Structure 1
Amino acid sequence: MDVLDNPIRSAGRAAVVWRGRAAAPGTCGELVQGTLRGEPFLITCPVDLWSEVSVELSNSGATVAALDKSSRAARLTLQYLGAEYACVAIKRVSVLPESKGMGSSTADIAATCQATARALGRELEPAAIAKIAAQIEPSDGQMFPGITIINHLTGEAKKYLGPAPPLNLVVADPGGVVDTVVFNRRQDLASKNFQKEPMVKQAMELVTRGLLTEDWEMMGRGATISAQANQVVLPKPHLALWRQWAADMRALGVLVAHSGTVMGMILRPGGVDPREAADFVRRQKPDWTVWHTSMISGGLR
């Protein structure tokens, strides 16, 4: 569990303080990610792992020159709301690992935006939060309700696909890190995305239809196709093994962090217990980090 304090130092006198809190879910990569006709998009996959942020605003204090992502989110939110405070103190408590593709930065940024707004007695719409988040880095989109197609570079929501299915996941991280900002600046990214567009189009159609008709097997097939297609962009050395384990457990399919390190397994309702599945992976790969969690609808609390 990670705790971050980022206070802007007090001037040493009593100050009026406004407080707000918010929490945002992480993700298990994405159900689908790529481009269609050159436009980038992803289909969100929020999970029941959270980042909680509290913000305190004060009318006195000193300014800090170097701001991290959460501090930038708070400042951009204040600008959006037409407010200005000398002192912004941020505390974050998160179970989400960084640079793995589990939406940790987006969760921190989104929760900070809403907590800042709530300190002022305001509530931001998901579209406003996504627009602020996209100014900082590409967004995972879990501020939007349910499961949503978004342009992760602009933060624009394209289509709401309905609530999250009631499905459990096993999530595994074999190790390593990927910087989302650096990844999206790759010179070969456009050509690699163009190369996999036919598979991505098929994946998006299957996942979209599966979610809209509550056909989870169809959704799982689409997610698996997107995971496989992404091997030309960011290869997962253990994806073939992961798919084999998923087949052995009669899982609905697999998914990956398309710009991260983690892989997910979508378990069949009434099938293998998620704790048993996670324990199996831990026994096979004791050096991996493994979670079991569930898909949830996006949105802040």
Structure 2
Amino acid sequence: MRAATTRTATPPDTAREPTGSGHAACHHGEILQGVFRDERGLPVHGLVTLPVHGRASTARFTHRPGSPPDAVTVTPAGRTKARTAAVLAVRECAARHGQPPCGGELTLTGDLPLGLGMGSSTSDVIATVRAVADSWGALLPPDTIALLAVRAEGASDPLMHGARPLLFAQREGRVLETLGAALPPAVVVGCTVGGGEPVDTLSLAVSVRDEDLAAYEHLRRMLRRAVAEADTALLGRVSTASARLRQRTLRHREFPTLTGIADRTGAAGVQIAHSGNVAGLLFDPRNPGLERRLRHCAQALDREGLTPTRTFTTFATRPERGVVPWTNTSRKPSAART
């Protein structure tokens, strides 16, 4: 993902009020999240997200030359993380141009649900940073955006790097490993757990034992192989195992129900937001009877009071031969998909 425009990096004209725009996608929680060894062999919190194509946050920023650098207003009100990101991004861009920082007006639009673990705040923050940079005629690299996002949020998803599967240190804003070009092909039937109540990610008490670190490193190797071999079944095993490990912290009472439905409908596995309340069942689109499996899955979720929220794919451009594309809300085949 990158800003809507890519103008050359020239200082803004102080005689006018430059406006820029930015865009950022969201995700559907994590495929894998835990603690992993970094390049120095030190344990680091990391995650691999499940992108959702089509849903996004858009930001528009107009900066006011001569105003105080922290004089940033945001619409809708209450998006404090995005406001903080705007202030940080203005300082970054101003320093790069040798100009004094200033305030401005930030407007956010989009269709992302808040507080469910879909990266809505990170999407707002990334879109904001890109909009500020665009208003300065700049294009900040993903690594810089990641560091600004962590400063604004305390932790960040790797949405600034696009849809590639990355093992990302969310509290440090750095990539631990690029796993490959794309996740294995999967169709995901999403739902919410925990009544859809928001989860305060940073307040979660996470205890990691030595055996957990070994288990997460094993899942990392499995996911690396799943990506290299486009193995959806192995992807599902990784996501289910990761979700099961996280149950010690999240304690979703619906988790046994989800795994039971996955077993009965032939899903590859279960995926959850480790810091939120969205969940999904992953299906291999190359297996026979896909439409029947998806229909039975949706019916089973309904019977258990876990109404499906969206059905989407891990492939953004062209589905596998013979796979019917689906929309993000309908249970029936559609010409458009997320």
* Shorter-chain TM-score tier: 0.7 to 0.9
Could you tell me which amino acid in structure 1 is paired with residue 133 of structure 2?
A
Partner Cα distance (2:210, 2:274) in 1: 15
Q: Distance in 1 between matches of 2:103 and 2:21?
A: 16
Larger radius of gyration: 2
Pairing 1:170–2:171 present: no
SS in structure 1 at match of 2:160:
coil
1:263 alignment partner, SS class: strand
- Following the alignment from structure 1 to structure 2, what is the Cα–Cα distance between the partners of residues 29 and 179? 14
SS in 1 for 2:234: helix
Letter of the structure 1 residue corresponding to residue 250 of structure 2:
L
Aligned pairs for 1:281-300 (under 5 A) are: 283-286=302-305, 288=307, 290-295=309-314
Change (3 A) 1:42 1:264: same
User: Is the 1:47–1:296 Cα contact (8 Å) retained in structure 2?
Assistant: no
* Aligned mate of 2:45, from 25, 40, 48: 40
CA drift of 1:281 comes to 5.4
Structure 1: give runs of 5+ residues left out of the alignment: 1-14
Determine if the alignment matches structure 1 residue 205 to structure 2 residue 245: no
Residues 1:220 and 1:279: Cα distance change in structure 2 (over 3 Å): closer
Q: Once the 2 structures are TM-superposed, how far is the Cα of residue 287 of structure 1 from its aligned partner?
A: 6.4
Distance 2:155 2:307 in 1: 27
Return the match for 2:278 from 262, 269, 272.
262
Find the partner of 1:110 among 112, 121, 126.
126
The question of whether the paired residues in 2 share the 8 Å contact of 1:220 and 1:254 is answered with: yes
Residue 9 of structure 1 corresponds to none
Report if aligned partners of 2:147, 2:172 keep a CA contact under 8 Å in 1. Answer: yes
Deviation at 1:77, TM superposition (A): 0.9
* 1:155 aligned partner: 173
The 1:279–1:265 alpha-carbon spacing in structure 2 relative to 1, beyond 3 Å, is closer
- Which one is further off, 76-85 or 227-236? 76-85
What RMSD over aligned residues (CA atoms) do the two structures have, in Å?
2.6
TM-score computed with the length of structure 2 as normaliser: 0.74
Q: Bigger CA drift: 20-29 or 164-173?
A: 164-173
Deviations 1:245-272 (A, max 9, x none): 1222222211111111111211211453
- What amino acid does structure 2 have at the position aligned with 1:47? V
Distance 1:26 1:277, change over 3 A: farther
Deviations for 1:193-230, whole angstroms, at most 9, x for unmatched residues? Answer: 65633332222221111012212211221111101111
| TM-score normalised by length of structure 1 | 0.83
Residue 51 of structure 1 aligns with which residue? 57
Query: Superposition pairs for residues 112-127 of structure 1, below 5 Å?
Result: 112-127=128-143
Aligned residue-pair number: 279
Amino acid aligned to 2:160: M
Partner amino acid, structure 1, of 2:18: W
- By relative contact order (CA 8 Å, sep 6+), the higher-ranking structure is 1
Q: Deviations over 1:22-71 (max 9, x none)?
A: 22111111111111253211112221221122222222557259981111
Question: Within 2, Cα distance between the matches of 1:198 and 1:158?
Answer: 16
CA displacement 1:269-298 (0-9 Å, x = unmatched)? 14534974674256324564622222367x
Q: Which runs of 5+ in 2 are unaligned?
A: 1-14, 38-42, 317-338
| Map of 1:181 onto structure 2 | 202
Deviation at 1:122, TM superposition (A): 0.8
Between 15-24 and 58-67, report the one with greater CA deviation: 58-67
Q: Which residue of 2 aligns with 1:141?
A: 158
Does the aligned pair in 1 maintain the 2:186–2:283 contact within 8 Å?
A: yes
Are the counterparts in 1 of residues 298 and 307 from structure 2 also a CA contact under 8 Å?
A: no
Q: Percent identity?
A: 26
Q: Which amino acid is the alignment partner of residue 174 of structure 2?
A: E
